[in-house]
């Protein structure tokens, strides 16, 4: 807890320093604190160039941070959060200490020169590296080191966005991917400490000024659900575009990696020349969009433009986060949806800006599948309790859409492409490297297909399982019968005529050679407390595997490790 407090202090001051670096880089490369507030303006130092300085700014910055990243910390390239997730899951929380400094400098130069990325990925990696460094310095075991890494990430998010609640949930839901009382207490302490320091220096204002929110009619909840479907799918599309552009850049580029950001920066600059609103994070564009400052067509153009600009920034080797771009995409798409709904339903008094607000969370949930963090972030941005119900509905729908149409998230896909499946590895770390046949138990009483309903109900009543296998006269497996099925058959009469074979249902089968991870997936989907285990070639059941046996095996493995 003392280290969590100390890391919170470091993360708070790190967030302050990082924002100062972005501000100075912005003044250097564009002549403005945030060029997105005045898109299309000339650089005050070079007024004769007009907007053409936009072509050179990303290239010049890339010429500086490209060699810096390549030489000292290659993992500082990209959006940062996947690297932290991997360090926590697979490396026991070990992150090289120089990552903090290199990531801060590279990301500040990238964002300040026009890179269309966010600052949350860098600050997560900066805070996480700080937590890892102090954990290793004090010699803490791997499990506590992971928690300190999460403390640094939580503190960075809390201080950067002035969101002390969002920090812990981001760390627990995305970095640790688990909730424990001990870890939650530590990350909350770090988050609160960082937030207090951030507010003392940078003020108590949220980083976005959003409109007041009010639900005008219960009918609007149908619109919020539809918004969750459309914008959740847009969040998934953002991830697809990101990695498609990155793959394209990898195929096209044949030069040294340190030169890639500079050469690619010319292409990014050309895009900024056409759509200067894509410069940097783009917070001023948020405000103007949800306030009704853009037409529907231009909002959709900004939405697509952000996907391309962010993807290109990452693809050429830039450094920055995808959290804020996903909010940007949701704000543009949600506001456009709200304006269209307002035109089609003029009598309902809809507020397009409110739909932009909900869209921000839906796009984030669709891209990351972190609905809890999304709800908390948007609640802290507005401070309005009235947002909770529509936000929860839209984010849950967006998360379901994301799970339906995509295997990974915008964070885990980067690791999947390297052959790293964190979800599978998390389970494999708790399951022994064995098969179902090694932990199966003796087969419970088998029911033959000609068993009467009376005999079957008595057998199920005396069995510890809510399901029993059914075999034919030759002993071949025919399926299972559950207590629930028999109870339904007995409803209305004591013991109906007939045999239990008529109620035997085919259920997912487990073979004795099946790995325990695959066995777990089958058990989760099956009704009852266990399943019969068939031999390698099928046929007659040779044993029984239950949820309890699998859980005991997992517990034994975790204890030994």
Share above pLDDT 90 across residues of the chain, in percent, rounded to a whole number:
36
Helix (H, G, I), strand (E, B) or coil at 544: strand
Residues 295-302 have a mean pLDDT of: 95
The pLDDT, as a whole number, for residue 561 is: 43
pLDDT tens column, 371-418: 888 888 888 877 777 788 899 999 999 999 999 998 888 888 888 777
pLDDT band at 475 (very low <50, low <70, confident <90, very high): confident
- Asked whether the beta carbons of 481 and 391 are under 8 A apart, the reply is no
User: Could you tell me which residues come within 8 angstroms of residue 49 by beta carbon, excluding any fewer than 6 positions away?
Assistant: 42, 43
pLDDT tens column, 12-45: 999 999 999 999 999 999 999 889 888 889 999 9
Q: Distance between CA atoms of 421 and 367, rounded to whole angstroms?
A: 17
**Res. 209: pLDDT tops 70:** no
Using CB atoms within 10 A of its CB, is residue 11 exposed (0-12), middle (13-18) or buried (19+)? buried
Q: Distance between CA atoms of 106 and 94, rounded to whole angstroms?
A: 21
- Asked whether the beta carbons of 299 and 286 are under 8 A apart, the reply is no
- For the chain, give the mean pLDDT: 84
- Asked whether the beta carbons of 215 and 306 are under 8 A apart, the reply is no
0.85 exceeded by pTM = no
Q: Distance between CA atoms of 257 and 86, rounded to whole angstroms?
A: 23
pLDDT tens column, 231-253: 999 999 999 999 999 999 989 98
pLDDT band at 559 (very low <50, low <70, confident <90, very high): very low
Q: Distance between CA atoms of 431 and 547, rounded to whole angstroms?
A: 13
Most confident by average pLDDT, 264-268, 428-432, 441-445, 474-478: 264-268
User: Could you tell me which residues come within 8 angstroms of residue 60 by beta carbon, excluding any fewer than 6 positions away?
Assistant: 29, 113, 262, 265
**Res. 227: pLDDT tops 90:** yes
Residues 302-316 have a mean pLDDT of: 95
Comparison of pLDDT for 517 and 40, the residue scoring more:
40
Q: Which residue has the tokens 């507030």?
A: 37
- Asked whether the beta carbons of 76 and 98 are under 8 A apart, the reply is no
Closest CA to 490 of 460, 512, 513, 534: 460
The pLDDT, as a whole number, for residue 138 is: 85
The pLDDT, as a whole number, for residue 263 is: 93
pLDDT tens column, 405-452: 988 888 888 887 776 766 655 555 555 567 777 778 877 778 888 888
pLDDT tens column, 133-159: 888 888 888 778 888 999 999 998 888
Residues 170-179 have a mean pLDDT of: 84
**Under the phi-then-psi rule, with left for phi > 0, alpha for psi from -120 to 50, and beta for the rest, what region is 207?**
alpha
pLDDT tens column, 93-143: 888 888 888 989 999 999 999 999 988 888 888 888 898 888 888 888 877
**Res. 528: pLDDT tops 90:** no
Instruction: Locate 423 and state its tokens.
Output: 């979800």
pLDDT tens column, 71-95: 888 877 877 788 888 888 777 788 8
pLDDT band at 351 (very low <50, low <70, confident <90, very high): confident
Q: Distance between CA atoms of 206 and 359, rounded to whole angstroms?
A: 18
The pLDDT, as a whole number, for residue 273 is: 93
The pLDDT, as a whole number, for residue 211 is: 64
Q: Distance between CA atoms of 358 and 395, rounded to whole angstroms?
A: 8
Q: Which residue has the tokens 């029984």?
A: 544
**Res. 276: pLDDT tops 60:** yes
């Amino acid at each position: 807890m003392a280290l969590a407090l100390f890391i919170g202090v470091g993360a708070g001051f790190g967030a302050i320093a990082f924002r100062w670096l972005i501000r100075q880089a912005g003044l250097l490369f564009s002549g403005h604190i945030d060029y997105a507030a005045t898109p299309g303006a000339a650089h005050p130092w070079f007024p004769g160039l007009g907007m053409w300085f936009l072509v050179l700014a990303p290239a010049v910055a890339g010429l500086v941070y490209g060699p810096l990243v390549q030489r000292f910390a290659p993992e500082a390239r990209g959006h940062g959060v996947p690297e932290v997730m991997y360090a926590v899951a697979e490396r026991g929380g070990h992150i090289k200490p120089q990552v903090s400094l290199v990531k801060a400098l590279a990301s500040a130069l990238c964002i300040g020169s026009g890179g269309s990325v966010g600052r949350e990925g860098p600050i997560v990696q900066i805070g996480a590296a700080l937590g890892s460094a102090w954990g290793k310095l004090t010699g803490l075991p791997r499990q506590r080191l992971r928690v300190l890494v999460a403390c640094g990430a939580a503190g960075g998010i809390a201080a950067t966005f002035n969101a002390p609640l969002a920090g812990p949930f981001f760390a627990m839901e995305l970095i640790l991917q688990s909730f424990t009382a001990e870890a939650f207490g530590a990350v909350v302490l770090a988050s609160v400490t960082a937030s207090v320091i951030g507010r003392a220096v940078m003020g108590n204002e949220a980083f976005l000024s959003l409109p007041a929110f009010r639900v005008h009619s219960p009918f609007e909840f149908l619109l919020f659900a539809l918004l969750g479907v459309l914008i959740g799918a847009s969040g998934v599309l953002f991830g697809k575009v990101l990695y498609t552009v990155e793959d394209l850049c990898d195929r096209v580029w044949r030069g040294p990696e340190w030169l890639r950001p500079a050469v690619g920066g010319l292409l990014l600059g050309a895009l900024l020349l056409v759509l200067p609103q894509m410069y940097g994070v783009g917070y001023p564009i948020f405000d103007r969009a949800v306030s009704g400052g853009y037409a529907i067509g231009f909002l959709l153009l900004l939405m697509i433009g952000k996907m391309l600009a962010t993807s290109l920034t990452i693809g050429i080797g830039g450094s920055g986060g995808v959290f804020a771009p996903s909010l940007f995409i949701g704000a543009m798409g949600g506001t456009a949806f709200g304006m269209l709904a307002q035109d089609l339903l003029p009598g309902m008094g809809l507020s397009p800006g409110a739909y932009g607000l909900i869209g921000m969370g839906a796009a984030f949930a669709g891209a990351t599948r972190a609905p809890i963090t999304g709800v908390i972030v948007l609640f802290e941005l507005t401070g309005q309790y009235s947002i909770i119900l529509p936000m929860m509905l839209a984010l849950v729908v967006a998360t379901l859409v994301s799970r339906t149409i995509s295997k990974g998230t915008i964070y885990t896909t980067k690791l999947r492409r390297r052959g790293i499946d964190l979800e599978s590895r998390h389970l494999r770390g708790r399951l022994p490297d064995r098969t179902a046949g090694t932990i199966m138990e003796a087969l419970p009483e088998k029911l033959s297909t000609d068993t009467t309903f009376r005999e079957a109900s008595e057998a199920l009543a005396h069995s510890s399982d809510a399901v029993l296998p059914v075999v034919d006269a030759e002993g071949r497996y025919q399926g299972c019968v559950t207590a629930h099925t028999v109870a339904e058959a007995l409803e209305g009469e004591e013991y109906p005529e007939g045999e239990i074979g008529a109620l035997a249902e085919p259920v997912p089968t487990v073979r004795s050679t099946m790995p325990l991870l695959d066995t777990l997936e089958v058990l989760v989907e099956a009704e009852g407390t266990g399943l019969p285990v068939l031999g390698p070639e099928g046929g007659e059941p040779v044993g029984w595997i239950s949820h309890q046996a699998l859980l005991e095996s997992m517990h034994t493995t975790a204890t030994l490790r």
